[in-house]
A = this chain, B = another copy of it.
Amino acid sequence: MGKRMIMNAFDMNGAMHNSHGLWKHPDSERHRYTELSYWAEMARLLERGKFDALFLADVVGIYDVYKQSREPAIRDAVQVPLNDPALIVPAMAAVTEHLSFAVTVTTTYEHPYAHARRFTTLDHLTNGRIAWNIVTSYLPNAALNHGLAKMIRHDDRYELADEFLEVAYKLWEGSWEEGAVVRDAGRGVYTEPGKVHQIDHEGRFFRVPGPHLSEPSPQRTPVLYQAGSSDRGRDFAAKHAECVFVGGNSKASIKSAIDDIRNKAERLGRDPQSIKMLTGLNAIVGSTRAEAENKLKAYAALWSGEAALAQFGGSSGYDLSAYAPDEYLAYKATDHGQSRAAQFTKQVQNRLTVREVIERIGTLDSRQGRLLTGTPADIADAMQEQLEETGLDGFNLAHLITPGSLREFVDHVVPELQRRGIYQKDYEPGTMREKLFGSGNRLLPEHHPASQYRRALS
C-alpha cells in the first residue's frame, strides 16, 4: 500500500451537527444521541470500516448571531441540544479495540490543570487511543456564559491557547518521569518521589506549580488536532498540531492552506510531512448515479436553509439577515474567529450579493467539493484525486443522516478504497500516534515543541 488514506468520522454529541434539517428524515436515528447504545453501535460500525477515529466537535454556547436570535438554532437543533463530548468516549472505547477518538475542548474556558487530568484519564482508559482537538471557541454566547462581558479577541485567544498548551505539556511530559511508578512492595514505594516533579509554571494567564496528579498514560500528550484557518490559527497549528483539519472549497485553496502550514512548521524546525492534513467530506452513495442523485434530492427537500444560516452566523459573525439582498457582501474582521465560514466571506467579498451568498450557504447541492454524490467508484475517484492533487492525508467524513450515511460509506466505499490499495484492511497495533505515524511513535517526536519540557524540569 502506498500512502494510506486517513479516515475520521466527523460528529458531535448533540441532536444535530451540520446536516441542517435532516433530523426530519425518517431514517435518522440521531435523537438517540443521549443513549450509550447509540454511540456503542456507532463505534462498532466505524471499527468495522477501519476508520482511524471518531472526531467529536463541540461548542459551548448557542448560535444566536443570525437574526440576532437563538430561535432559528433552537428550532432546528443547530448544535443544540448538545452534550459533553468526552463522556461518550469511555463507553465506545470499551466496545472497540483500535478505533481512536478525537475530542474537542476549548482552551479559552477550561483550566489546564483539570484538563490535563481529564485527557490523561482518557488516554489511560482507551489504551492510548485519544486525541485532543484544540479550539479557542468562536461563539459570543460561550464567552458570556463563562462570565466574560465580551469575547476575548481572536488573536488573544491564541496567546492564551499557546500558554495553555505550555502548561499542559509541562504536566504531561515533564512532571512524571518514565519509571516513576515502581510498586515495590518490599521497599514500600508505590511511586519514587524523586521522579515526580513540580512544573512551577508562572505565565501571563496561568500559574500552576503542579505536579500533575496522574501517572503517565500511554501517549502522555494526546494526539493533537487543530483546525486553525486564520493566519494566527495556522501559526498555532504549525507549532502544535499533529493533525490539521483544513478548510477550503476547492482543491487549490486546500492545497494552498496545506502548503502554508507545512512551510510554517518547517520554519519552526518540525518535520512538515509529519503533520497529517484532513479535510471535510460528505458522501451520498448509490449503486448507480441515479440512485445517489435521488437520495440527494430527498435530502435537499428536507434541508433547512435557516439552520444553515444560523450555523453560518455563529461561526462567522455575519448575520446575513441584516443585509439587503442585492448588497455585495464585504469582508469584515470579527472576533468570532477566522473559521471556514469567515474565510468563505473573504473569498466571495465584493463578488457575490448577499442573496447569492444565502443561496450558496443555504442549499444542500451548492456544497460542491465537499459533497460527493455517486457510485462507490465515483466517490473513491474523487477522494483519490483530492489526495493526489492537494497534499491531503485523509478526510473527516460528516453525515447527512446517521448512522445511515456512515453505514453506506463503510459497506460500499471503504471496500472500493481497499481494493485500490489506499485504505487500510487492518489496523496497525499500538496507540493512536503509532497507528498514524508508525510503530515506535508512542510519544511526541523530538522535533515537537513539547519535547523540550521532558528533561528541562528538575
Contacts and interface: CB of A to CB of B under 8 A. Distances in A.
B81 A181 contact: yes
Given A36-B93, A94-B94, A144-B209, 15 more contacts: A16-B190, A36-B90, A60-B213, A75-B189, A75-B192, A75-B193, A76-B189, A76-B190, A81-B181, A81-B213, A87-B90, A88-B125, A109-B114, A111-B146, A146-B208
23 contacts: A15-B191, A23-B185, A34-B215, A35-B125, A36-B94, A60-B213, A62-B211, A70-B196, A70-B211, A74-B190, A75-B192, A75-B193, A76-B190, A77-B190, A81-B176, A81-B181, A81-B213, A82-B214, A83-B121, A109-B111, A113-B145, A144-B209, A146-B208
A113 B208 contact: no
Nearest to A125: B36
Nearest to A183: B31
Nearest to A62: B211
Contacts of A74: 190-191, 193, 196
A181 B15 CA distance: 10
Across the A-B interface, the 6 shortest Cβ-Cβ residue pairs: A77-B190, A81-B215, A34-B124, A24-B185, A71-B193, A83-B121
Contact of A90 (B90, B147, B185, B209): B90
A353 interface: no
Contacts of A153: none
A141 interface: yes
For A70, A81, A91, the residue with the greatest tally of chain B CB atoms inside 10 Å of its CB is A81
Given A23-B183, A81-B181, A94 B40 contact: yes
B113 A60 contact: yes
Nearest to A115: B84
